[in-house]
Structure 1
Amino acid sequence: MFCGECGSSTSATPLTRRRPDPRGRDTTIIQPLPRSTVISVSVPDRVPAPPPVERIGPVPTSAPAESAPAVLPDPVAAPITEPPATRPDGVRFVLQFSTGETVNVHGSGLIGRRPLPQPGEIFDHLVQIQDSGMSVSKSHLEFGQHGGQFWVSDRFSGNGSVLQRPSEGALRCEPGRRYLVPRGSRVDIADQYFVLA
């Protein structure tokens, strides 16, 4: 039944006569968990040893009474910063790019249009490629050494990477997986490439 003048329901219950909710306010809203992302992290050849801890002894008896006792620094409030550990250069390799550039490398690095490490990552080289077609991703490929051998790993790039070893067919690199690259091999990075010498 509806009112002929205002159109509202004549059988609707007013707010004052509505029965209270027996559940009360016992409902809890659970926020969804954030999605995690997978990134490739470089692993150093040697893990640096932790720095020695300076131990501060008791205050000598000859010290003036006004001097405050020595306090150990809080490791959370004042983190210890040290320069990255020096490691051997390892074997040197030459990357001859299709753009005409030649880069001598050792250790680890990133290749791309504007290579940028993720927080906590440290690389020896950031190799920037001039690609007017924008086919190469910003951080397209990661490289490094293992036992004197060169390896590459695709960094989940948009157009992918292809490895062409001598006397073997082309192999599309699975993102996040490391592939050994012998000298004389060609690595296609989207529309660009480099030859390892």
Structure 2
Amino acid sequence: MFCGGCGSSTTATPLTRKRADPRPNDTTIIQPVAPRSTVISVPLWPAGSLQAGTAPAPAPASADAAPEGAGTPAPVVAERYTLQFSTGETVSVRGTGLIGRRPLPQPTERFDHLIQITDLGMSVSKSHLEFGQHDGEFWVNDRFSGNGTVVRRAPAPALRCEPGRRYLVGRGSRVEIGDQFFMVL
């Protein structure tokens, strides 16, 4: 039976309106996973597995791997750049990275840095800009952001970046992302 004025049930009581708990006997306690405290490194080419006369290609070495003059060619070391943001953050970077409100790489992408900046006006996209280095030169790439990216180099006029294309940015340049910006030092 329903009320003609409001449509509610005339026979319903607070007890009949209560829904049954969908998991009445769920008392499972999940134990936390123990954190891993060690890193195991397995060589790519185990000793004795190579045939005579063959050698593997040398693995890329990190900047801290071997001291200079150890008989191997010096690896290409990425320059260290400092990004000074208009929001007050200063980040020292080396390698590749993403900048945005909530930067998130695609499943197949790997970055050295994910830099999240505060933008209350939301003019900066979630993954607004990608950066990296080529032969020690810093570059930026707009990731099809909503408000775009502008590079201001000292003597040259402002340059609006075409999405998906890399632009070299020298030290002392200003990169504008939405209403925010950062200086490359």
What's the TM-score, normalizing by structure 1?
0.57
Match of 2:23? Answer: none
Question: What secondary structure is seen at the aligned counterpart in 1 of 2:126?
Answer: coil
CA apart distance, 1:54: 9.7
Q: Select the residue among 51, 62, 83 that pairs with 1:95.
A: 83
Name the SS for the 2:79 alignment partner. Answer: coil
Q: 1:172 aligns with which of 143, 152, 160?
A: 160
Q: Report the residue type matching 1:156 in the other structure.
A: F
The residue number in structure 1 matching 2:7 is none
Equivalent position of 1:135 in the other structure: 123
Specify the SS of the correspondent of 2:155: coil
- Displacement of 1:86: 6.1
Report the number of matched residues.
120
2:110 corresponds, among 122, 126, 129, to 122
Structure with higher Rg: it is 1
Q: Identity of aligned pairs, percent?
A: 67
Q: What is the DSSP-based 3-state SS (H/G/I as helix, E as strand, rest coil) of the residue aligned with 1:168? A: coil
Q: Which runs of 4+ in 1 moved over 6 A?
A: 53-56
1:104 aligns with 2:92: yes
Alignment of 1:12-161 (within 5 A): 51-52=44-45, 87-88=62-63, 90-161=78-149
Deviations 1:153-185 (A, max 9, x none): 000001100000111110000000000000000
Q: Distance in 2 between matches of 1:52 and 1:194?
A: 44
Structure 2 residue aligned with 1:185: 173
Which 5+ residue runs of structure 2 have no aligned equivalent? 1-42, 50-59, 64-76
**Letter of the 2:106 counterpart:** Q
Partner of 1:195: 183
3-state DSSP of counterpart to 1:188: strand
Counterpart residue identity of residue 145, structure 2: S
TM-score by length of 2: 0.61
Amino acid in structure 2 at the alignment position of 1:132: L
- RMSD (CA atoms): 2.0
Cα distance in 2 for partners of 1:159, 1:109 equals: 19
State the 1:87 CA deviation.
Answer: 3.9
Q: Distance in 2 between matches of 1:137 and 1:86?
A: 35
